[in-house]
Structure 1
Amino acid sequence: MSEIVKAINPIVPLDYPDPDVIRVDDTYYMVTTTMHFMPGCEILRSYDLVNWEHAAFVYDKLDSTPAQRLENGQNIYGKGMWAASIRHHKGKFYVIFAANDTRKTYLFTAEQVEGPWEKSEIEGFYHDSSLLFDDDDRVYLVYGNRDVQLIELESDLSKPKEGGINRTIVSDRDNPNLGYEGAHFYKINQKYYVFLIRSLPDRWMRVEGCFVADSIDGEFKGGDIFIDDRNYCGQGVAQGGIVDTPDGDWYAILFQDHGAVGRIPILLPIKWENDFPVFGAEGKVPTDFTTKSTRPNYSYQPLVNSDDFKQRYDNTYGLAPIWQFNHEPIESDFSINEDKGYFELRTSKVTNNILDATNTLTTRMLFPHCAAEVTVDASQIKDGDVTGFSAFQGAYGFVGITKQDSKYYLIMRTKPLDNLEMQSFDPNETPEKEWERIEIDHPTMTFRIEADFWQMKDEVKFLYQKDDQFIQIGPNHQTAFRLDHFTGCRFGLFYYSTEQSGGTVQFSQFKYIK
């Protein structure tokens, strides 16, 4: 018996951009972009396309380059893995993505979605690629920006097939904004469909396109098929995968920009008219509609949650899957004490800012509002050390504790925005500013961050607990989604040393307030 499930958009009010989705029997899987965070390439699982939970991370670390490990002043902000393609073929899962720091295209395969995942590479660099296994065992990849290419791969997916198909199927070279990219490639009822994203040429607004051909060698015809912003700040809904249900219904999962909180998945019903897809209802994202669950009364694990650090999880880092490190962690510099319930960080290098701090532990912020609290024990930090609780993004802010001349201080600092333009890849060069400093006697404090993302207000405030009350420190801080990091704002637990390494800090009682 199927269970009727009400869908209300956005289905997942968190930063899960560039979604691709498949169904294997009664289970849906969605993979999204994780950029520089590790473990990376997260796959979610659902039985109704509305509710989702963590299924797996495809990798714990990628190539362990100096930049991926935040070594020698290098980083991969705004790079890392982008726009994965997930497929299931002859009993095996396939995930393909390109990483913009290494300029490589990676292929991961597994018998089970939980892994283990085997890593290899595909010769070449294929931006926003999509994989298709055809009925005759030929394998194709569609990729590219502005000029969208179709190539044939060797049967082992190791490289382009010698003498195989290699041609441009769609071109949007003259678009002054974003040209077609974000390919999703399918064969449905013996026709070939490519779904793409671009911006309208006359203004910045993401739109969804579709092109269809009668054969793999044929002409791909089509254009923009879905232009809607849900009446939300002019931000279009586009780029993602389509999937069918066991009953033969079709849906698309696309994303929509929501400002500093990130890019959020939107679910759309699809109808087919004359073998061409029609997204939404009367050209719009429906406010609500229904789907069917393949597993009635299933209880999903939350994608964001509180953590008392009293449980060690069965994965490489031992942490709940709500957490990802900013870049590859140094495993010798963190530990979990599940008996006493704390996450401990140690420093092994000297730096001067949070963006270069290794082992920062992050979790996504929730749209449209959220808050979180954490207790920080800084009694074992050294002079010059800085630790605390951050709204982590290129234009970050934090409340924390520092130590100078053997005295402890409560501080609030931000890196104010120097450019509100989302399309800027340039790093935020505005100097960090300290807004408030208070000498304290006891270096164990509970901090709170409150965030308001509604209508792209994108403001966070920082508070500390005193006498059972939370008191704001410093001004409200403006965050923003920009291409320098290309990710939504996150809660971050951090620690770095500016004079000498070797100190420790403990975080406990992380409380997520939804």
Structure 2
Amino acid sequence: MEQLFKGIFFCVIFGLSSQYVQAQEHNQNVKWGYWEKWGDQGDGTYNNPLLPADYSDIDCIRVGDDYYAISSTFQYSPGMVILHSKDLVNWTIAGHAVNDVSKISPKLNWDRMDSYGKGIWAGSIRYHAGKFFIYFGTPDEGYFMTSSKNIKGPWSPLVNVLAEKGWDDCCPFWDDDGQAYLVGSNFADNYKIHLFKLSQNGEKIVEGSDKVIYQSKGSEANKLYKINGLYYHFFSEVKAGGRVVMIRKGSTISGPYGPAKQIGHAQKNFHEPNQGGIVNAVNGKWYFLTHHGSSGDWSGRNMSLLPVNWVNGWPILGKVGTDTIGNMVWAGKKPVAGRKTFPQSSDDFNQAEIQPQWEWNYQPRTEKFSLKARKGWLRLWAFKPLEKDNLLKAGNTLTQRTMRTTQSEAIVKLDLKGVTDGQKCGITHFGAPEYSSFGVAKKNSELIVVLNLKNKVVYGPKILDKILWLKSTWGSDGRSQYYYSTNGTDFIAFGDQYQLEWGSYRGDRIGIFNYNNDEASGYVDVDYFRYTY
């Protein structure tokens, strides 16, 4: 079995005790987004979502006793975030697979910034012959791959496996004889799903090997598995009720496959759990790690874990209905005992490198930030945005995912002594096409509090001190409020509340921004970012 599943694992739950089945049935009345408890409950159980944040297009494998997952990152850099877990419930950030997204396209660099909603889309992670492989698609540039012997890198330079527009949601597969394959959807051609043979190193498509193996409305989210001698093609498609998870099986990799079986309901009220993968856990049971894929949710596509129940040779996701199709579950027994952990968030900027919870909006201008210029601080030098006062066109905005919890608070401490005329810096709730920003502007040698809510700019009092604390708070409804303080203790609310939003396939992010409308001049020092939820 170990040989069988090298490089093809994914995440999900199996076999809940009757106690937890009752809990999950009761929790079917959960209103999306308003959960009070999530993740590890500390008593051997967990509640969904595992991570109430934007971990979109999730994929997962097991290697030994460790679980690894990847999530799409679009235009953010570094790209393709990698998560690690020991129990499928508690996850930390292990790193990223793509250090420089401008290697995909110059449009992803700080001096272009014109690829919102593009960049790194869904991918797959596999482990084969002692190496990790990650394949992913971009809508304009095609399929890419990278590999590494260590999950933390270094990852090999990107290889453009298929240089053509209009492809997404690819997955590699190594058969028992060592032959490599790649499955993917050509969304530009009515979502036809193609199967290719790959060269032995996985870097090239074998000429003449292309075969269309399926096509339906919106058919994508492809995965391939071989389980007990049968090949399973896992994907999703759009039906009348929404996007659903489907699977086909056959006796050979290229087919013929039997009729597609629906294994999960759309459940729009639970934001369509639909894209992810199945994995055989250490306990021998199967689990489905998925994102909730409906668009329009301010927190993005949150991550959940569902049990997989095998019914007549079909992996049914979640609670099996009388129609033999799976339904969402909200509670379960942990697959493996493990320590309660969370993805990294707060940062004192005491490390030699930017920590893995952070992703820049587009590839940053590297000479304009430093963790060495002032020990224990992040220094951001200001330069002109591509468009005046447009944060979407301002380079070196540093972001991380926001969490959808009942109470969240982010505080940034700034030293403003290096700020010059024309410069603006502070904290932001960042998205596209909408964002909010709060901080200070320097005009006529004076520092002034300034708030921008959807391009509605409000100026506040002058700031005489050089040290300033900025704070944002928000709850499950995504209504944020900004505050400032000159002593780090007494915070003053400023401006109206701001509704966090979804845009360009992404949920909201909290971030730190800095630019100068007039010239490349000035800097701000960031002492810490403290994020509690």
TM-score band by shorter chain is: 0.7 to 0.9
| Contact 1:140/1:151 (8 A) holds in 2 | yes
Matches within 5 A, 1:286-435: 286-293=329-336, 298=339, 300=341, 302-312=342-352, 318-337=353-372, 340-351=375-386, 352=388, 353-368=390-405, 369-394=407-432, 395-415=434-454, 432-435=455-458
Offset at residue 268 of structure 1 (A): 0.8
Deviations 1:185-232 (A, max 9, x none): 11111222122223333x5x3322222223223134214321154xx8
Work out whether 1:236 is the aligned partner of 2:272: yes
Aligned counterpart, 2:519: 500
- Residue 474 of structure 1 aligns to a residue whose secondary structure is strand
Aligned counterpart, 2:215: 171
Q: Tell me how far apart the structure 2 counterparts of residues 237 and 244 of structure 1 sit (CA, whole Å).
A: 19
Structure 2 residue aligned with 1:248, among 265, 275, 284?
Answer: 284
Structure 2 residue aligned with 1:477, among 498, 517, 532?
Answer: 498
Q: Tell me how far apart the structure 1 counterparts of residues 507 and 148 of structure 2 sit (CA, whole Å).
A: 29
Structure 2 residue aligned with 1:458, among 478, 483, 488?
Answer: 478
Offset at residue 155 of structure 1 (A): 2.4
Offset at residue 340 of structure 1 (A): 4.7
Offset at residue 23 of structure 1 (A): 0.7
Higher helix share: 2
Q: Tell me how far apart the structure 1 counterparts of residues 289 and 67 of structure 2 sit (CA, whole Å).
A: 11
Offset at residue 436 of structure 1 (A): 3.8
Structure 1 residues 271 and 299 mapped into 2: Cα distance closer, same or farther (>3 Å)? closer
Work out whether 1:441 is the aligned partner of 2:480: no
Structure 1 residue aligned with 2:199, among 154, 171, 190?
Answer: 154
| Contact 2:274/2:293 (8 A) holds in 1 | no
TM-score by length of 1: 0.86
Aligned counterpart, 2:67: 28
Instruction: Structure 1: state its 5+ residue gaps.
Output: 174-178, 313-317, 416-431
Offset at residue 384 of structure 1 (A): 1.6
- Letter matched to residue 438 of structure 1: P
Work out whether 1:274 is the aligned partner of 2:312: yes
- Residue 298 of structure 2 aligns to a residue whose secondary structure is helix
Comparing 344-353 and 365-374, the one that deviates more: 344-353
Structure 2 residue aligned with 1:56, among 95, 111, 126?
Answer: 95
- Letter matched to residue 471 of structure 2: R
Offset at residue 233 of structure 1 (A): 4.0
Q: Tell me how far apart the structure 1 counterparts of residues 192 and 340 of structure 2 sit (CA, whole Å).
A: 44
| Contact 1:373/1:512 (8 A) holds in 2 | yes
Structure 2 residue aligned with 1:212, among 249, 254, 274?
Answer: 249
Offset at residue 339 of structure 1 (A): 6.5
Offset at residue 451 of structure 1 (A): 2.0
Work out whether 1:134 is the aligned partner of 2:171: no
Count of aligned pairs: 471
Q: Tell me how far apart the structure 1 counterparts of residues 385 and 528 of structure 2 sit (CA, whole Å).
A: 28
Aligned counterpart, 2:33: none
Aligned counterpart, 1:285: 328
Structure 1 residues 220 and 358 mapped into 2: Cα distance closer, same or farther (>3 Å)? farther
Structure 1 residues 38 and 68 mapped into 2: Cα distance closer, same or farther (>3 Å)? same
Runs of 4+ off more than 6 Å: none
Q: Tell me how far apart the structure 1 counterparts of residues 503 and 399 of structure 2 sit (CA, whole Å).
A: 18
Deviations 1:112-136 (A, max 9, x none): 2122211222134441101111112
Structure 1 residues 20 and 137 mapped into 2: Cα distance closer, same or farther (>3 Å)? same
> What percent of counterpart residues are identical?
30
- Residue 67 of structure 1 aligns to a residue whose secondary structure is helix
Structure 1 residues 234 and 298 mapped into 2: Cα distance closer, same or farther (>3 Å)? closer
Structure 1 residues 297 and 78 mapped into 2: Cα distance closer, same or farther (>3 Å)? closer
Structure 1 residues 4 and 442 mapped into 2: Cα distance closer, same or farther (>3 Å)? closer
| Contact 2:373/2:379 (8 A) holds in 1 | no
| Contact 1:350/1:501 (8 A) holds in 2 | no
Deviations 1:452-491 (A, max 9, x none): 3x3xx332221112563222211111232122xx222111
Deviations 1:358-382 (A, max 9, x none): 1111111111242200112223222
Aligned counterpart, 2:299: 261
- Letter matched to residue 392 of structure 1: F
Structure 1 residues 438 and 339 mapped into 2: Cα distance closer, same or farther (>3 Å)? closer
| Contact 1:96/1:131 (8 A) holds in 2 | yes
Q: Tell me how far apart the structure 2 counterparts of residues 503 and 47 of structure 1 sit (CA, whole Å).
A: 45
Q: Tell me how far apart the structure 1 counterparts of residues 415 and 119 of structure 2 sit (CA, whole Å).
A: 32
Aligned counterpart, 1:185: 224
Offset at residue 92 of structure 1 (A): 1.3
Q: Tell me how far apart the structure 2 counterparts of residues 264 and 350 of structure 1 sit (CA, whole Å).
A: 32
Q: Tell me how far apart the structure 2 counterparts of residues 233 and 451 of structure 1 sit (CA, whole Å).
A: 23
- Residue 63 of structure 1 aligns to a residue whose secondary structure is helix
Offset at residue 63 of structure 1 (A): 3.4
Structure 1 residues 410 and 513 mapped into 2: Cα distance closer, same or farther (>3 Å)? same
| Contact 1:310/1:339 (8 A) holds in 2 | no
- Letter matched to residue 512 of structure 1: Y
| Contact 1:153/1:161 (8 A) holds in 2 | yes
Structure 1 residues 138 and 66 mapped into 2: Cα distance closer, same or farther (>3 Å)? closer
- Residue 169 of structure 1 aligns to a residue whose secondary structure is strand
Offset at residue 96 of structure 1 (A): 0.6
Structure 1 residues 304 and 261 mapped into 2: Cα distance closer, same or farther (>3 Å)? farther
Deviations 1:72-98 (A, max 9, x none): x44322111111111111211111112
Aligned counterpart, 2:22: none
Offset at residue 273 of structure 1 (A): 1.7
- Letter matched to residue 178 of structure 2: D
Aligned counterpart, 1:89: 128
Q: Tell me how far apart the structure 1 counterparts of residues 338 and 284 of structure 2 sit (CA, whole Å).
A: 22
Comparing 501-510 and 54-63, the one that deviates more: 54-63
Deviations 1:280-300 (A, max 9, x none): 12332222111332xx55464
| Contact 1:211/1:222 (8 A) holds in 2 | yes
Offset at residue 311 of structure 1 (A): 2.9
Structure 1 residues 66 and 158 mapped into 2: Cα distance closer, same or farther (>3 Å)? closer
Q: Tell me how far apart the structure 1 counterparts of residues 338 and 227 of structure 2 sit (CA, whole Å).
A: 32
| Contact 1:20/1:31 (8 A) holds in 2 | yes
Aligned counterpart, 2:55: 16
Instruction: Structure 2: state its 5+ residue gaps.
Output: 1-41, 321-325
